[in-house]
Amino acid sequence: MPDIVEIRILPPLAIGRLGSSATPLENYTLEIANPVGYRSLVPAPTLVVDPVTGAIVSSTTPAAVSFRDAKGNIKPVCPFLEVWMLTAGAKTLAPLTLQALEDLGADETAVSWSVEVGNIKAFRRTGDPKDKITASTTAFNDHGSKSLQGKCANFKPGKSLPFGSVRYLKPTADFPQIRLRFTPASGKVYGPKTGDPNIAEDVYDETRGSWSKFRDGDPNAPASRPPSTEPGGIFANVRGVSRGYLDDECDGIVQVQVTLADKTLTAIARITCGPPSFAPDGLPIRSVADELEQVELGPAVSGPVPMAEVGSIVRRALETVRLMNTAALNSPSINNMANQDTGTGRAAEPIFDPSVVDALALRARHESVLLALNSRTMAWFSGVLRRYTEVGDLSNDGRRKMPGMMRGSDGSHLALTRRQASKVDAAALEIAPDPAPSNAGSDLTPTNLTAIFYHAQGNPPVAHPSSAISNAFPGLEMDFRNVWRRVFAGIILHEADNFVVDVEANASPKLRELIGQRLISVNGISVIGVLQGPTRAGGPVVSLPPNENAAANNPMVGKTNLEWSNCLADALRMQAKSVACIFVPEGGGPETKISLKVRPFFEAGTGVIKRELLQPGELTQSLCSPWQNDYRECSCYYWAASRPDYVNVEARADGTSAGHNWLQLNRNPGADKVYIIDDFTDQRLVTYEQLFRNWEHLLKFEIEGSDSE
């Protein structure tokens, strides 16, 4: 056979999902029969692995998809990572198989794997390197399961935190492709205190580290402590003081090496893990796949857009809205966007007229747009879309733009990616017919885009970046904002704000002067937007401070930072080139103008986010610790495609909706359908302690908007 010149791991980013069952989740596809109905979960060929030999023994389509085993434990999502090869003279990738190795005088032992993952959530807060929890394997080429045991200098002697395992699957004649499988952890909570009923094991040593004493905004904190996450305080705490809790999420890098007679070929991919998707028949309105597509193809489209692409955006908006109690989330009296806006001094007012925001009414409105998908309806939709520069417009008109009542990764009102918005704009002019379907896997080219959209054999949809939320504040599966921190060589940006938090080790004195300064423009394109709104109900629109404590000379008065993904989309077209950046001091002062080089985003010719942008653990470092803490008192109800809000909804006699809060303990068929507002003192809702101890059996999967179990 021709010589192998390159290898790839596909998918380049695989998502595991937590669960304690010994049985992985089956594969399925999401099918659409009714244009405005729920997607159907259709069982699909599932690869069954022999737990003893590590070989795939069958590809079987189950009779049904079940998210729990017979004991009620949640089945983890355990993604496969496949190795592909590019041979001399070829334009498409082919699977790296046992036969291909043998043709080149090698065998399966010529393939070796190594994995490095981390959970550095505590370190992200404390700044103490000894709080980093990392796990790695030495290079291995056998087919046994390799445990990922997290080690930490501030752990108690002999203690570790399990992050799951990886396994090089034994290739066979029936399943000859080279693969690795990642099995995530169970989803348990760990901490410092012996006998704490909320934790699986006491691992953290309070006499060594400060995580169990950490407080955001501590005036006595060492100068080395990094700035707070955005939002802050997103860790288990008592009156603001950390309980020292840790979870078993992680992210990191998988590397494969193939050693041939005359060369060694290497490829990498990334893995991460998060909680289950509890509404698996829907997808988020803005996903990590959308972000990766924008990086690869740019923020603008040209020419007509296929109907399927435009319809996907509208459908995902519908799938999010129909799991939100929009009437409750419109009120400024609870923890939602209407309430969050008051933190800038904006008057407390509903976003929309309360008479038009019932969940069923808004659902019907989205359905009508999806049913009448044509240039005329897209022209209307395009006209009401919020643009990324308008997220700080808190006027009545500004807050009523679409998507409504949802939060973006900058903490402001949500805007779609610029590329998503450009697709809607293009569809307002003309919608193209959908292209003919292709045979998945038959035309894989060695390009980033092919890799981004690739679905590995046997992986369910919830293992793909299209299932992961990207309007992260901070996120569930990952906090995608972290990819931008090192996008400019030499400096390190805050993941969610426009200031420089640090510089790289070899930075020049001039770059070191940028620490603490704010980036305000790149190549003449502003990375800050206007922050405005009324300070009294019905009052005039005026400039607003970024927060109630902002000094008069703060350069951000009347301004808001814009999310990196959209405001740096143009700069990403200048990869490996220098761009003109302008910085200003936090307290005001003269501008600093400097040219900085834009780092390439992907490893060359692949869809893998470059090592220089993200170290193991950094993709999840700013998430809640533990992740269960994110499910209470959180204003992120717009993540309904993964973390539902309003379930078991039905119409009342007057046409308005009735249903349950997803976290209500009593929502049996006979229970009154009364939505209980999120309040940590209300014992009718799942408590923090119950989530820490028993989330797996208390949280329910929602199929077609209703409890499925």
Residue 619, CA distances (Å) to 231, 247, 252, 641 in order = 16, 15, 8, 21
How many helices, marked H, and strands, marked E, lie in the chain? Answer: 14, 36
Strands of 478-531, DSSP E: 491-493, 500-503, 518-522, 525-526, 528-530
Distance CA 15, CA 238 (A): 32
Distance CA 620, CA 616 (A): 9
Backbone angles phi, psi at 422, to 5 degrees: -65, -35
> Residues 17, 462: contact at Cβ < 8 Å?
yes
> Residues 603, 613: contact at Cβ < 8 Å?
no
> Residues 391, 408: contact at Cβ < 8 Å?
yes
Distance CA 251, CA 615 (A): 9
pLDDT tens digits for 94-137? 999 999 999 999 999 999 999 999 999 999 999 999 999 999 99
| Residue 624: Cβ within 10 Å count | 25
Distance CA 518, CA 555 (A): 9
Nearest alpha-carbon partner for 569 in 299, 304, 315: 299
Q: What is the predicted pLDDT for the residue at 498?
A: 95
For residues 497-528, b (16+ Cβ closer than 10 Å) or e, as one string? bbbbebbeeebeeebebbeebbbbbbbeeebb
Residues 6+ apart with CB under 8 A from 472: 409, 478, 479, 480, 481
For 402-413, the three-class secondary structure string (H helix, E strand, C coil) is ECCCCECCCCCE
Enter the pTM of the model.
Answer: 0.96
333: helix, strand or coil: coil
Residue 34, CA distances (Å) to 38, 213, 315, 370 in order = 7, 53, 11, 11
Which residues of the chain fall short of a pLDDT of 70? 437-442, 547-553, 635, 637-638
247 - beta bridge partners?
A: 189
For 160-213, the three-class secondary structure string (H helix, E strand, C coil) is CEEEEEEEEEECCCCCCECEEEEECCCCCEEECCCCCCCCCEECECCCCCCHHH
Q: What is the predicted pLDDT for the residue at 439?
A: 54
Residues 6+ apart with CB under 8 A from 271: 13, 14, 15, 16, 79, 81, 115, 117, 182, 251, 252, 253, 254
Q: What is the predicted pLDDT for the residue at 129?
A: 98
| Residue 700: Cβ within 10 Å count | 18
Q: What is the predicted pLDDT for the residue at 379?
A: 86
> Residues 554, 587: contact at Cβ < 8 Å?
yes
Residue 52, both tokens: 């003893």
Residues 6+ apart with CB under 8 A from 243: 191, 212, 235, 236, 237
Q: What is the predicted pLDDT for the residue at 550?
A: 66
Distance CA 516, CA 685 (A): 42
Q: What is the predicted pLDDT for the residue at 654?
A: 93
Distance CA 143, CA 528 (A): 51
Q: Per-domain residue ranges for the chain?
A: 487-597
Nearest alpha-carbon partner for 381 in 452, 318, 443, 328: 318
Q: What is the predicted pLDDT for the residue at 548?
A: 61
> Residues 95, 457: contact at Cβ < 8 Å?
no
Residue written as token pair 């329910």: 700
> Residues 151, 134: contact at Cβ < 8 Å?
yes
Task: Indicate the Cα dihedral angle 200, 206, 210, 211, nearest 10°.
Answer: 10
Residue 132, both tokens: 């980093």
Distance CA 19, CA 16 (A): 10
How many residues does this entry show for the chain? 709
The per-residue pLDDT of the chain, averaged, comes to 94
Nearest alpha-carbon partner for 101 in 87, 89, 115, 113: 87
Burial class (CB in 10 A: 0-12, 13-18, 19+), 126: buried
Q: What is the predicted pLDDT for the residue at 551?
A: 67
Residue written as token pair 């704009």: 425
| Residue 240: Cβ within 10 Å count | 13
For 623-681, the three-class secondary structure string (H helix, E strand, C coil) is CCECHHHHHCCCCCHHHCCCCCCEEEEEECCCCCEEEEECCECCCCCCCCCCCCCCCCC
Distance CA 273, CA 247 (A): 11
Residue 405, CA distances (Å) to 111, 308, 362, 366, 367 in order = 50, 25, 12, 14, 18
